[in-house]
Amino acid sequence: MAKKIFFITGTDTDVGKTVVATGLLQAANQQGLRTAACKPVAAGCEDRGSGPQNDDALQLQSAANYSLSYQQVNPVALDLPMAPHIAAQEQGRRLSASRLSGFCRGLTLLPIDILAIEGAGGWQVPLNNRETMADIPKQLNAEVILVVGIRLGCINHALLTARAIRSDGLKIAGWVGNIIDPDMLRADENIDTLKQMIIEPCLGVIPRLPDICPLQVATHLTIPD
């Protein structure tokens, strides 16, 4: 049974959730821990001959050292890259937190040390008219890792997201800064402000890397206790 369940969320879409998730998995692998990963719903999939698959989910599958089928890693694969509930509606499907968390709960029974679950978009991306992505980690009682995209506006987005996670009654295991705007003015000062204002630990700051791969990212990250 999984000893730790981490749900990786972000301050927005395209802030580096997959970069951080695969880096953390690699760091755990290097410590001899058994790891598995899941992206319960992914919008933006391409059929390469084996059914629709998502690039982020494939990276998660590759980074974890416990072998899972693609279907186990990404049980709900939607075609169009848009808000998951809208993509599902266009395909005549309906998302529910209980079903998605059920897929994840099955993986928690595996003989692993860490299960990394990557969300889609930000913390409160809708799944349907009543539920959001946040309901998945709430039902699993998972610890949350917050990925902050370091760019203009990141302080406000990070503080609001962290407050929302705490308000939902979940523990933030830590946050990671991912520099996505290399030309941002006073990036270091923004990061220092976040370290002062977010009470949970900073697990690392990922610089702009010429070749982003889990091995390189892992060197900048600390696995939460």
The residues that are catalytic are 39
Q: What are phi and psi of 224, to 5 degrees?
A: -60, 150
Is residue 176 within a helix (H) or strand (E), and if so which, with residue range? Answer: strand 172-179
CA separation, residue 60 to residues 8, 19, 85, 108 (Å):
12, 9, 22, 16
Q: Is 141 left (phi over 0), alpha (psi -120 to 50) or beta?
A: left
Q: Is 43 left (phi over 0), alpha (psi -120 to 50) or beta?
A: beta
Query: Cα dihedral angle (38, 71, 139, 119), rounded to 10 degrees?
Result: 40
